[in-house]
Amino acid sequence: MTKSIEELETEKSRLAEEMRQIDYQLALRRGIPTTAEALRASRAYALDAALPVEDVVQGCSAAIDRYGFCVIDNVIPIDHIAEIKLEAEKAEGRVEGNTRAVREGLRAGKSLEELANREGIELRPVCRSGYPPKIVNDIVWLPKYAAFLANATITAVARAVLDDHLKIGQLHLRHIVAASEDGSPGGWFGTGRPDLRAWHTDWPHDLSAYGGGDPNTNVGSVRQPFPDVTFGLTMIWYLTDVDEDSGATFVVPGSHRDPRNPRGPNDGISVGSPIPGEMQITAKAGAVFIQDSRCWHASPMHNNGEKRIAIVNRWSPWWIAVDGYASGPESSVNQVCRPLAQREFEALPRDLKPLMRHLCPTQKDVLQAPVLDRAKAADERTKWGFRLTKEQPENVVSANEHIKVHIRPD
């Protein structure tokens, strides 16, 4: 007896629920945490940089796919942390001073071109023609940190998740204020409240796009519902220990595949309120937190420990247009693709240069070797197909009989 459409839909729903239950049971049998509480307790999202690179890549790729994030411990050796931490603290003052000077100059009616020639202000030309100069990339004040940014394990994970040709489109400091001497907690925005959040996703999935409806400051974002593809990785390099009471990042495991968004106009989410299933990352200084840019996360509004020192960067595959569309003078201080002069680019470590070449107007951002290797293999396969028509014409008609393409019913 032929089943009706309604009966088939009911059976489809039943089977889908049955598959979800089987996946759940498989996860339990394999020891995979299925709740935020279990994940937090087990730290199943974390791997050690001392493991073989292929093991870290496999483990991190699986964690990012399953949870939306991972942590790689011990990326920066412990004997380098103190000096890089001090460097990052000093850089904070220089970046803030430079940003403040540009903003004050703009308020005083000066043009960016005038400010670029003023002593003590560090503005650089950008790669995009017709767009104003921007403040210099934070990396120029972080040379000790730069030596670790293109870490072989980190880049291997990024290539596995994104693509073989990578770009670091954003790099900035993200420190969290410490508790004050009177015991009052610190935190992001200085609120000190443990019950507040600032939920968001990262570029290119930041729906407010840094500028809302203002074309002069909006840098663009991916349209909802987001495709189920990782378009970017945000990395937070912790230079101090973090946990639930000392500057740890909030995340909602699995949110990278949720069709809703904390800033979604029609999704009914309050960005400032806790979300069931949330957790905080725990890591020691020298660890790197890596998340899919779609993952819901928030900097902590409370910190009862020491000042959190951290450096954030956002990695993109080469096929993402990382330059923002914002063209107003206010965009000169945003975090998107802060540029480098030629001399500053030349000072970068050799392995880091390919990842930041796109930030220097005097450099050609040529395709990196693995992408060219793929193209060469595809070209050779194409030529083989056409040779077949000449060398074995009798096999041309039947050569693809083994290829079956199925149309998805939904």
Give pLDDT tens digits for 110-164: 999 899 999 889 999 999 888 999 999 999 999 999 999 999 999 999 999 999 9
Q: d(Cα 12, Cα 3) in Å, to the nearest integer? A: 12
In this predicted structure, the answer to whether residue 321 has a pLDDT above a threshold of 90 is no
Domain residue spans in the chain?
A: 42-373
The pLDDT of residue 221 = 94
Task: Find the angle CA(282)-CA(286)-CA(289) to the nearest 5 degrees.
Answer: 50
> What global pTM score does this model have?
0.92
Mean pLDDT estimate for the chain: 93
Q: How does residue 305 score in pLDDT terms, banded at 50, 70 and 90?
A: confident
Q: CA geometry: angle at 59 spanning 352 and 227, to 5°?
A: 75
> pLDDT at position 24, please?
74
User: Could you give the residue ranges of the DSSP H alpha helices within 197-348?
Assistant: 342-346
Handedness of CA 119, 125, 131, 136 (dihedral sign): negative
Strand segments, DSSP code E, in 74-181 are 123-124, 134-135, 166-173
CATH superfamily of 42-373: q2cbj1_9rhob like domain (2.60.120.620)
Token code pair at residue 45: 């999202």
Q: Do the beta carbons of residue 206 and residue 297 sit within 8 Å?
A: no
How far apart (Å, rounded) are the C-alpha atoms in residues 202 and 200? Answer: 7
- Would you state the structure tokens that stand for residue 64, as one six-digit string? 């990012």
Q: What is the pLDDT of residue 49?
A: 98
Comparison of pLDDT for 36 and 28, the residue scoring more: 36
Count CA atoms within 13 Å of residue 305 on its CB side: 14
User: What are the tens digits of pLDDT across the range 206-225?
Assistant: 999 999 999 999 999 999 99
Q: What is the pLDDT of residues 51-66, one digit of tens each?
A: 999 999 999 999 999 9
Say yes or no to pLDDT of 189 above 80: no
Model confidence pLDDT, tens digit, residues 258-284: 999 999 999 999 999 999 999 999 999
